[in-house]
Structure 1
Amino acid sequence: MESKTLTVLIATYNDRVNLLDRVFAEAHPHMRYIVVHQVDDQQDYNDVAEKMCQGRNDIDYVLSSTTGVTKSRNIALSLVSSDYAVFMDDDVRLADNFYDTIIASFQSSPESSVLTFQAADIEEGGLLKNYLTEQKTHTRISILKVGTIEVAFDVKAVKNCGAMFPEYLGAGTSLPACDEPVFLARVMSRGLTLTFIPKVIVFHPKLSSGKEFITENSLVCRGVAFRDIFGRVSSIPVIVLFYLKNRKKFKLTGQSALLALFKGYFKTHFNESV
């Protein structure tokens, strides 16, 4: 049987490109990397790029003047041509069995075009979240907890369905979160099956626990995302339930958290083809 190819799509920004040494695994005959490097600090990174690719023919470096991680993801998505791909950040370390785990999981789940996996703490090794312990098909509720670095996908299926990351959400924009579930919801809306696999593929710095919401935009982006994921009618009870469940985490000064969520729900100025 012909071996399947896998590409790691990495988004990085300014001098964070210097972190990538620990992201690249030992060269593998069926793995490649696409690095999209967004630069706006007027620095010259030619030497860094040359050093990164020196001795490696499996790294494609793309310099971009765009801003926002979702634009980086979409650039990488437009360039990838392997059988499968996975999104990664610039501060991760791939698991030793990264390639084998992903390829074997797709082969054992032929009905799935997108698989999500587990991530573990890069220093202590424990799981970053309270993941399920069994394989399960995703719903629009379960994708709300998925991080980008947990996502692997069938390249042909996802590209053919036309789903892209929402460039009005995510790090580097005024609405700095929730781009992952909106992307996954778009994939789901086009009829593709998404499945969770309880296996670790990546190590990442520990996530902060008990996250508090201290800015209006941290809630506005969730209102936008809930509307995009669930639709205009079904998203209303979802927003209310989110508000009730997380009331103790809202730390906005002189503002209503519920109004901020609905401000996102009514936000309509986006101009994007999805």
Structure 2
Amino acid sequence: MAQAFKKSDIEILLSTMNRDSLDFLTPMFPFTHFTEFKILIINQTTQENILQSPYVNIRVINSFEKGLSKSRNLALANAGGKIALMTDDDVIFKEGFDETIYTAFNAFPDAALIKFCAAAFEGKLFRKYTRHAVKNMNAMQRLNTMSIEIALNVERVKQSGIIFNALFGLGSFFSMGEEPIFVNDLHKAGFQVSFVPKTIVTHKSVKDSDNIAISEVYRIRGAYLKKIFDKQFFLWVGIQLMYHLKGRVITPFQIPFCIKNALKGRKQLLNLTEK
């Protein structure tokens, strides 16, 4: 029988930019000092803005590349724990998040990835999550995934050879979509991707993606829906349109405009991947 996961197996993989001090970590852990945890920080920066750590369990890699997916991939390549928790520099961890994570991996020892819940600072959950644990997430659950919700079995992910697609994510050609592509790539490769309905982090209620124009939203979604679903592209664009109509994000009169931009994103992805 495999040895059970424990707190010391968890390493937090944190992406940030232009830091020269560890002070930003303090508000992320309001219940204890951040040195209680293993953290690998990827600081995308310049030669003039170098971050250093005096603590053994707080590692820093200063990177001079741009792009969130490149930051995630560098972190994964250098991960030192058995479980990697992906996160950003603007979250606040819930007390006991570490126990929640290793307990989940003990419940799903074959999982390459486990998705958890995230909530706004005010306490409201970011989305309507299912109330029960799921061994294998369905397509909709995989599609609606943020990086701050996921933890990884490092050995299984490295075994898969799957990394974040550098065409997607902040600082890339398509500024969203890297997480659902990553989760779906693992699923397509035959790896277990699970869900546990426990909240591990809180985040401001307004996300960066909420401020993106609807034309850009559909351009980007057109690209990653093509990447994920390929021949089912039009089905999933239709599902997205129905979801936005129901939520009054768009009106029926905007449907042709949204489809036009989704097709634009699909064409751009095909042009980029054919080079």
Residue 99 and residue 150 in structure 1: after superposition, are their counterparts in 2 closer, same or farther (change >3 A)? same
Shift of 1:148: 0.5
- Considering only aligned residues, what root-mean-square deviation do their CA atoms show, in Å? 2.8
The whole-number CA distance in structure 2 between the counterparts of 1:194 and 1:145 is: 13
Structure 2 Cα separation of the partners of residues 88 and 107 of structure 1: 21
CA separation in 2, counterparts of 1:106 and 1:210? Answer: 30
Report deviation, 1:15: 4.8
Shift of 1:204: 1.2
Separation in 2, partners of 1:240, 1:121: 29
**Residue in structure 2 matching 1:245, options 243, 246, 249:** 243
Unaligned residue ranges in structure 2 (runs of 5+): none
The reply to whether residue 21 of structure 1 matches residue 23 of structure 2 is no
Structure 1: how far apart are the matches of 2:207 and 2:44? 26
Name the CA distance, whole Å, in 2 between partners of 1:169 and 1:133.
30
2:155 maps to 156
* TM-score with structure 1 setting the length: 0.85
May I ask how many residue pairs the two structures share in their alignment?
A: 261
Contact kept? 1:165, 1:183, Cα under 8 Å: yes
Contact 1:176 1:218 in 2 (8 A): no
Name stretches of at least 5 consecutive residues in structure 1 with no aligned partner: none
* Partners of 1:148 and 1:140 in 2: CA distance: 17
**Offset at residue 211 of structure 1 (A):** 4.6
Q: Which residues in structure 2 correspond to 1:1-274 (within 5 Å)?
A: 3=6, 5-15=9-19, 19-23=24-28, 26=33, 31-40=37-46, 44-46=48-50, 49-50=51-52, 53-54=53-54, 56-122=55-121, 124-136=122-134, 137-207=136-206, 211=210, 214=213, 216-231=215-230, 233-247=231-245, 248-250=248-250, 256-266=257-267, 267-271=269-273
8 Å contact kept, 2:120–2:205: yes
Q: Which amino acid counterpart does residue 220 of structure 1 have in structure 2? A: R
Residues 94 and 213 (structure 1), Cα distance of their counterparts in 2 relative to 1, 3 Å cut: closer
Identify the structure with the greater helix proportion. Answer: 2
SS in 2 for 1:158: helix
Code of the residue aligned with 2:27 in structure 1: it is R
**1:246 partner SS:** helix
**Structure 2 residue matching 1:206: 3-state secondary structure:** coil
What does the per-residue CA deviation read over 1:107-148, in whole Å, with 9 as the maximum and x for residues that have no partner? Answer: 0112322110011223x2332222221112312221121110
1:208, distance to aligned residue in structure 2 (A): 5.5
Q: Does structure 1 conserve the Cα–Cα contact (< 8 Å) formed by 2:19 and 2:43?
A: no
State the percentage of identical aligned residues: 23
Q: Distance in 1 between matches of 2:162 and 2:66?
A: 20
**How many Å apart are 1:200 and its aligned residue?**
1.0
